[in-house]
Structure 1
Amino acid sequence: MEQVFLAVENIDKSFAGVHALNDVSLKIKKGEIHCLAGENGSGKSTLIKVIAGVEKPDSGQIIIDNKKYHHLHPIDAIHEGIQVIYQDFSLFPNLTVAENLALNSQLEMRKKLVSWKQVKETAEKALQLINVDLDLNRLVENLPVADKQLVAISRALMQDAKLVIMDEPTTALTQKEVERLFKIIKSMQEKGISTLFVSHKLREVLDISERLTILRNGQKVIEGNVEEFDETKITYYMTGRNVSSNKFISEKKSGDEKPILSVTNLSSDGFFDDINFDLYKGEVLGITGLLGSGRTELALALFGYSPADKGEIHINGQKIHIKSIQDAMRNGIAYVPEDRLNEGLFMKQSISRNIYVGILDSIKKALGLINVSEADSIAASLIKDLNINADDPLRPVQTLSGGNQQRVVLARWLSTKAKLIILNGPTVGVDIGSKTDILEKLKELAKEGLGIMIISDDIPELVQTCSRILVMHKGKIIRTLEGDEIEEKAISNILNNLD
């Protein structure tokens, strides 16, 4: 019989009278890869914090290797071999890779002087644990996301980890980087290390996990071996509703119809070269490719953030010149960034202000004062239209879930009467229910005549949403897929065979 490493039994936790966890139990066996799934607000993060000793449960108990705790302190969890890798990785960005890896061991030795030779040796041994090679002298802030994650995993394993909890570990990773992460998780399993993989990406849950526990509204709704589940079943238990995953069928375009967007021989030195495509009314155009393919740089050129060096851009048949973001906005081009927290929202400002900030010039009264009643009316209409879950539009936008925050960014651009919206990773960090709602709204907007472009690594998302997909590699469009060609396996094969 396989031995249980961790068991949480009948855990309750409330905040200000609101149940975050209600009678939740979970078991993780030694060497098991266990997935904890659920939408935002389901209780996943609270349960992680209880296991890590950050939050004290109101009732219940935690059993680690047959030792019973009514609550843990963080140092207890670490001594028991529990390591948590949070979404931000909790690294020191202004320190090098070596310093981040060796810091704990240097502190434990309490030496007055640092032995840099010892720091290097410690860091090298840490990276050997997962068989990767990184520049030890490089500052962590300059690393790509995938390499930051490798540093965090190596550091966790240095602490004699027996259970590694990974909180949404693939949010900002490409498909190839996800595959590398999964190989590392499997190698950890071979050493007897358990993994609690916390995610709401269904395909990844099915690919990596052995057992699955699903939370909804603070309660465990189901658990079982992963073979007992498929995406439809997981979605139902996570959301409590049946969610559509039908592919998007675009309208047939007439022979004389002008495209909403036409790009001809667009180039930007060092990023992309000779890009040509059209986008018609009723279509959703997808763009995918490996990291460094030039897809994001193309989007930023169309939005005027990094203007192209040469080529032509036409909107509704009219040639336009984009040399700045202001040029793009004047011509009805909008951009929803992947990093909505730092690039897309004013986090401490209200939901309403985040929506109408893009149209301040058009709602001014005499003396340059804002027509607040008109602004609030526009915001309220869009909140309703996009199903933004906001009981009070004056609440700071930072209080909303990821899915609702993304709707706010979209609402802002819709308020500007944009002709084309480019979305980079439109559902990154968004739970499955909100993800489906956002993608369905984009299809609806496309049918109403708005130009929609989606840049994404999420292949199921592209297949479900796009009527045409461009695959970019090394700054060029190498394939155009449409109709029956738009299949997950076909896209994965193309990306996996790129050098």
Structure 2
Amino acid sequence: MLEMRGIRKAFGPVKVLHGVDLEVRAGEVHALLGENGAGKSTMMKILCGILKADEGTIRIDGREQDFAHYDDAIAAGVGIVFQEFSLIPYLTAVENIFLGREKTTSFGLLNRRAMRTRAREVLGKLGVDVPLDVPVADLSVAEQQFVEIAKALSLDARILVLDEPTATLTPGEVEHLFKVMADLRQQGVAMVFISHHLDEIFEICDRITVLRDGEYVGTCEVSAIDTDRLVEMMVGRRIENNFPPKPTALPDRRVVIDAKNIQLRKNGPVSSFQLHQGEILGFAGLVGSGRTETALSIMGAYPAAAVEVEINGDPKRPANPKEALERGIGLLPESRKDQGLITSFSIMQNVSVNNYGKYRAMKYFLDLKKELEATRSVMKDVQVKAPGPNVAVDTLSGGNQQKVVIARWLNHNTPILIFDEPTRGIDVGAKAEIYQLMRNLTEDGYSIIMISSELPEVIGMSDRVCVFRSGAIVATVQGDAINSEEIMTHATTGKVRYVA
């Protein structure tokens, strides 16, 4: 159904795609894999008419296509679920789904009833109940993801591109999506599926095409390859173990955070935890179990009903993130682009943004040489791969963007770090680098709270794990008890303590 041949694309002197081929059959789910920066998203933007290829051809059902813009691709039966949401935050789900192709009555008025009925029908296929009449800005990230998916499905596309569609979904929601994809496969829809979760590739996909550094590496049947070989195709080398070794024994170290009587909502469950110097404390549990809210409550970024916090022995609770930063707490948020970075700024500006006071030469001037030297130093420490400190952050891969956020906190001297979903949307090679960086930091005396929905990540990286359920910590496990059975048992059946 789809043939892309010899696709080349450059942005100025930077060559992004070097004659890449892709062939997708009707009724198959075809994985497009590669590290961040391999050219996957650029390839798909060319398919959807968002970008224009410098060279190469696109054929759909044997007919050559030349898309001038996105509407041309839609008319040819191509739909895409973008990795970065393309929703208008202050419009409702219905208004977003039909934006630019609104249904009208015979009098030329908006047919809101027809649009609402169709939106409910498409969301029903996904097995989710998303509020239709509130701005999407008020929806959860997962609900916004389903609106994005529904927007593409409503096009009745014959070729559907899904770029990291599961990144914000729970396992149950992913299962619903895969059922929908199976139905679409039966209907003859050709799907291009991009994901960094290799287990999903082996579960849902039929064939795989791998790109590396903008080059075509190869295409193979899923049944003819294993994970190790697939990773080697993607990164050009074998990765024997994603996770660095844990310390064999954690020495008795001082408590840097002692959080007690945490109550996220009034009359809700109560819990407590401690974070020690030089450890990685994992926060595990199902989505919505209170992991992120608990971490944010200790730095004054979430309005918990009650919480008592001692930071390095000081019992004063930070009133807001600014005070938490002054007390040495840095946050790598779940959504790095929306909450962790100013993407139009350079690496140096992002690294310095919280800490310009240290570069003040006089009352109204900055010592730019000092700022540049400091930025280069922390970039080297965290191994940011970029031409230089003045490169815009939005040109970097996801893994390097994460490293820029970490570099900012190292530059600000924050020995307590909260990492919320630190490897979401990051390829397997960059994950290994982030994991090693985290372990290096703890060896240097930093303390890390790691919130993750990926159980292998929690097990492989954590020295201890706090397991959450229904808004509270129901167990803290360590040593051999850090295993999937133990953690999931507590996460799904653990007893929660409530107060009157």
Kindly state the Cα deviation for residue 496 of structure 1 after the two structures are TM-superposed. Answer: 6.4
Instruction: Name the structure 2 match of 1:245.
Output: 242
Instruction: Name the structure 2 match of 1:185.
Output: 181
Instruction: Name the structure 2 match of 1:427.
Output: 423
Residues in 1 aligned to 2:362 and 2:475: alpha-carbon distance in whole angstroms: 53
Q: Do the aligned partners of residues 94 and 368 (structure 1) sit closer, same or farther apart at CA in structure 2, a change above 3 Å counting?
A: closer
Name the amino acid aligned to 2:232. Answer: Y
Q: Is the 8 A contact 2:34 2:210 kept in 1?
A: yes
How many residues get paired?
A: 494
Residue 61 (str. 1) matches residue 57 (str. 2): yes
Q: Do the aligned partners of residues 47 and 155 (structure 1) sit closer, same or farther apart at CA in structure 2, a change above 3 Å counting?
A: same
**Aligned partner of residue 7 in structure 1, secondary structure:** strand
Residue 326 (str. 1) matches residue 322 (str. 2): yes
Q: Do the aligned partners of residues 28 and 270 (structure 1) sit closer, same or farther apart at CA in structure 2, a change above 3 Å counting?
A: farther
Gaps spanning 5+ residues in structure 1: where? none
Residue 452 (str. 1) matches residue 448 (str. 2): yes
**Aligned partner of residue 182 in structure 2, secondary structure:** helix
Kindly state the Cα deviation for residue 311 of structure 1 after the two structures are TM-superposed. Answer: 4.3
**Aligned partner of residue 233 in structure 1, secondary structure:** helix
Moved more, 158-167 or 109-118: 109-118
Residues in 2 aligned to 1:172 and 1:445: alpha-carbon distance in whole angstroms: 27
Residues in 2 aligned to 1:432 and 1:271: alpha-carbon distance in whole angstroms: 42
**Quick one: which of 207, 213, 217 aligns to 1:211?**
207
Instruction: Name the structure 1 match of 2:29.
Output: 33
| Moved >6 Å (runs of 4+) | 496-499
Q: Is the 8 A contact 2:103 2:114 kept in 1?
A: no
Q: TM-score, normalization: structure 1? A: 0.89
Name the amino acid aligned to 2:77. Answer: G
Residues in 1 aligned to 2:476 and 2:235: alpha-carbon distance in whole angstroms: 34
Instruction: Name the structure 2 match of 1:400.
Output: 396
Q: Is the 8 A contact 2:48 2:67 kept in 1?
A: no
Residues in 2 aligned to 1:444 and 1:182: alpha-carbon distance in whole angstroms: 38
| 1:299-448 equivalence runs, <5 A | 299-306=295-302, 308-367=304-363, 369-448=365-444
Q: Is the 8 A contact 1:51 1:72 kept in 2?
A: no
**Quick one: which of 215, 220, 226 aligns to 1:224?**
220
Kindly state the Cα deviation for residue 170 of structure 1 after the two structures are TM-superposed. Answer: 2.0
Kindly state the Cα deviation for residue 403 of structure 1 after the two structures are TM-superposed. Answer: 1.7
Q: Is the 8 A contact 1:267 1:311 kept in 2?
A: yes
Residue 173 (str. 1) matches residue 169 (str. 2): yes
**Quick one: which of 198, 202, 206 aligns to 2:194?**
198
Kindly state the Cα deviation for residue 116 of structure 1 after the two structures are TM-superposed. Answer: 3.3
**Aligned partner of residue 353 in structure 2, secondary structure:** helix
**Aligned partner of residue 260 in structure 1, secondary structure:** strand
Q: Is the 8 A contact 2:260 2:307 kept in 1?
A: yes
Gaps spanning 5+ residues in structure 2: where? 496-500
Q: TM-score, normalization: structure 2? A: 0.89
Residues in 2 aligned to 1:262 and 1:230: alpha-carbon distance in whole angstroms: 44
Residues in 1 aligned to 2:362 and 2:100: alpha-carbon distance in whole angstroms: 61
Name the amino acid aligned to 1:119. Answer: M
Instruction: Name the structure 2 match of 1:463.
Output: 459
Name the amino acid aligned to 1:383. Answer: M
Instruction: Name the structure 1 match of 2:115.
Output: 119
| 1:486-497 equivalence runs, <5 A | 486-488=482-484, 491=487, 495=491
Residues in 1 aligned to 2:100 and 2:263: alpha-carbon distance in whole angstroms: 47
**Aligned partner of residue 31 in structure 2, secondary structure:** strand
Instruction: Name the structure 2 match of 1:234.
Output: 230
| 1:13-32 equivalence runs, <5 A | 13-32=9-28
CA RMSD of aligned residues (A): 2.9
| 1:66-145 equivalence runs, <5 A | 66-69=62-65, 74-102=70-98, 106=102, 111-145=107-141
Residues in 1 aligned to 2:186 and 2:487: alpha-carbon distance in whole angstroms: 31
Q: Do the aligned partners of residues 102 and 50 (structure 1) sit closer, same or farther apart at CA in structure 2, a change above 3 Å counting?
A: closer
Q: Do the aligned partners of residues 371 and 57 (structure 1) sit closer, same or farther apart at CA in structure 2, a change above 3 Å counting?
A: closer
**Aligned partner of residue 293 in structure 1, secondary structure:** coil
Q: Give me the identity figure in percent.
A: 34
Residues in 2 aligned to 1:495 and 1:183: alpha-carbon distance in whole angstroms: 25
Q: Do the aligned partners of residues 43 and 332 (structure 1) sit closer, same or farther apart at CA in structure 2, a change above 3 Å counting?
A: same
Moved more, 270-279 or 402-411: 270-279
| 1:254-265 equivalence runs, <5 A | 254=251, 257-265=253-261
